[in-house]
């Protein structure tokens, strides 16, 4: 049944208010209520929806600390908007957490997720689930980042004197059920390094002349003030896309910024999440 629109001057009834509150709680549980506070890491994230009719889209940012002290980072751009996108976001988020919690590597987890998305779509009879994905694992002493970039185009590690692009090393999720197409990469990280990842609503934001904002703008925003908090950096990233389009962005924008504060080993026996 189609819900009546609630616009200016139309007060929602009690049932509509309950439905809206319930949907908001579900969506917040999927997309995260607050940024996590984890030892040795400064974590910021920001999400900016379109100014159009979408309540929420398919952009997902997730950070989760596992019992072995490693921290997983996921930035996902799922096709579609609305309820279907939120359902798919929930599946992706919790599948990745579950796989790594069972001892899967980043590569094994993404391969398993890709297969799950393909067979789940076929079984449920839903529209195919396609997504670009950046999934990374920071080891417990914060010295390496192992990642799989499945069709994800804009991710960087920004050090004081070096910017490293984290290039794609796998096809988009849901396209090919072939494990051999997926690979992972590992790079060294150290205190002071900043990992910055954004969805394509940032890079594909267009100004009034039709020019794309592009990937380089992400690194430029970080480098403009590398000492500010990661939360302020993440908000500056999404705000830049909004301003660049003159408040007419056509896609959601999600940003994750993680700074390696120190090599601080994790104490076993607890999980943290957002």
Q: Where do the H-state alpha helices sit in 133-250?
A: 200-203, 216-224, 230-244
Instruction: For residue 23, tell me if it sits in a domain.
Output: no
Q: How far apart are the C-alpha atoms of 11 and 16, rounded to whole Å?
A: 10
Instruction: For residue 138, tell me if it sits in a domain.
Output: yes
Instruction: Dump pLDDT digits (tens) for 207-263.
Output: 888 899 999 999 999 999 999 999 999 999 999 998 998 767 667 888 999 999 986
| Structural domain span for residue 224 | 37-265
Instruction: For residue 156, tell me if it sits in a domain.
Output: yes
Question: The whole model's pTM is what?
Answer: 0.85
Instruction: For residue 274, tell me if it sits in a domain.
Output: no
pLDDT number for residue 9: 38
Q: How far apart are the C-alpha atoms of 194 and 258, rounded to whole Å?
A: 6
**Region of residue 69 (phi > 0: left; psi between -120 and 50: alpha; otherwise: beta):** left
Instruction: Dump pLDDT digits (tens) for 102-118.
Output: 999 999 999 999 999 99
Instruction: For residue 270, tell me if it sits in a domain.
Output: no
CATH number at residue 167: 3.60.40.10
Instruction: For residue 228, tell me if it sits in a domain.
Output: yes
Please tell me the least confidently modeled range out of 29-33, 260-264, 266-270.
Answer: 266-270
- Our count of domains for the chain comes to 1
Instruction: For residue 72, tell me if it sits in a domain.
Output: yes
**Contact (CB, 8 A) for 189 and 145:** yes
Instruction: For residue 15, tell me if it sits in a domain.
Output: no
Strand partners, 45: 256
Instruction: Dump pLDDT digits (tens) for 123-168.
Output: 988 777 899 999 999 999 999 999 999 999 899 999 988 999 999 9
């Amino acid at each position: 049944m189609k819900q009546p629109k609630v616009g200016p001057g139309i007060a929602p009834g009690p049932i509509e208010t309950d439905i809206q509150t319930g949907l908001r709680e579900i969506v917040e549980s999927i997309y995260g209520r607050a940024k996590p506070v984890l030892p040795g890491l400064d974590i910021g994230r920001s999400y900016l929806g379109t100014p159009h009719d979408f309540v929420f889209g398919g952009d997902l940012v997730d950070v989760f600390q596992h019992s072995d002290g490693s921290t997983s980072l996921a930035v996902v751009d799922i096709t579609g908007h609305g309820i279907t996108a939120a359902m798919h976001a929930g599946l992706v988020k919790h599948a990745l957490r579950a796989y790594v919690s069972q001892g899967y590597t980043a590569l094994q987890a993404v391969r398993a997720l890709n297969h799950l998305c393909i067979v789940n779509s076929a079984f449920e009879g839903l529209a195919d689930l396609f997504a670009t994905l950046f999934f990374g694992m920071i080891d417990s002493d914060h010295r390496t980042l192992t990642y799989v970039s499945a069709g994800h185009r804009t991710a960087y590690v920004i050090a004081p004197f070096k910017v490293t692009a984290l290039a794609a090393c796998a096809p988009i999720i849901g396209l090919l059920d072939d494990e051999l197409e997926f690979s992972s990469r590992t790079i060294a990280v150290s205190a002071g390094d900043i990992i910055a990842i954004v969805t394509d609503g940032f890079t594909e934001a267009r100004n009034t002349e039709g020019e794309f904002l592009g990937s380089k703008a992400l690194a430029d925003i970080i480098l403009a003030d590398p000492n500010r908090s990661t939360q302020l950096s993440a908000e500056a990233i999404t705000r830049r896309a909004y301003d660049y389009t003159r408040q007419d962005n056509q896609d959601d924008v999600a940003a994750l910024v993680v700074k390696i504060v120190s090599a601080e080993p994790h104490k076993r026996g607890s999980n943290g999440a957002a």
